[in-house]
Amino acid sequence: MKTQRKVVVTGSRGIAAGLVEALDRQGVNTFVLGGEESEGRDLMTHAPSLLGFDPIDLRDEAAVEAGFQRASELLGPITDVVAIAGGSGRSFGDGALHEISREAWDKTIELNLTTTFLTAREALKALMKNGGGSLTLTSSVLAASPSPEFFQTHAYSTSKAGIAGLTVTLAASYVGSNIRVNAIAPGLVATPMAARAATNPEIVEFTKHKQPLAGAQLPISDVVDGFLFLMENKSITGQILTIDGGWSTISGR
pLDDT (tens digit per residue) in 143-168: 999 999 899 999 999 999 999 999 99
Task: Please state the rounded mean pLDDT for residues 36-55.
Answer: 94
Write the CB contacts of 61 (distance below 8 Å, at least 6 apart in sequence). 118
pLDDT tens-digit series, residues 87-120: 999 999 999 999 999 999 999 999 999 999 999 9
Angle (CA) 167-169-174 rounded to 5° is 95
Measuring CA to CA, which residue among 184, 143, 155 is closest to residue 167?
184
Give the CA count within 13 Å in the CB-facing half-sphere of 88: 15
Q: What is the pLDDT, as a whole number, of residue 252?
A: 66
By CB neighbour count within 10 A (0-12 exposed, 13-18 middle, 19+ buried), where does 159 fall?
A: buried
Q: Provide the edge-to-edge strand list for the sheet that holds 50-54.
A: 50-54, 29-33, 6-10, 80-83, 133-138, 179-186, 240-243
Q: What is the pLDDT, as a whole number, of residue 195?
A: 72
Measuring CA to CA, which residue among 222, 224, 221 is closest to residue 247?
222
pLDDT band at 1 (very low <50, low <70, confident <90, very high): very low
Q: What is the pLDDT, as a whole number, of residue 2?
A: 45
Q: Could you say which DSSP state residue 113 is in?
A: I
* Of 68, 92, 156, 227, catalytic: 156
The answer to whether 156 is a known catalytic residue is yes
Read off the pTM. Answer: 0.95
Contact 142, 151 (CB under 8 A): yes
Q: Which domains does the chain have, with CATH numbers?
A: 6-244 (3.40.50.720)
20-54 CB burial, b ≥16 within 10 A, e <16: bbbbbeeebbbbbbbbeeebbeebbeebebbbbbb
Mean pLDDT of the chain: 95
State the CB neighbour count (10 A cutoff) for residue 74: 14
What are the DSSP E strand ranges found in the chain? 6-10, 29-33, 50-54, 80-83, 133-138, 179-186, 240-243
Q: What is the pLDDT, as a whole number, of residue 210?
A: 94
Task: Please state the rounded mean pLDDT for residues 207-224.
Answer: 95
Kindly tell me if the per-residue pLDDT of 245 is higher than 90: yes
> How many Å apart are CA 239 and CA 147, to the nearest integer?
23
> How many Å apart are CA 220 and CA 226, to the nearest integer?
10
Q: What residue type is assigned to position 158 of the chain? A: T
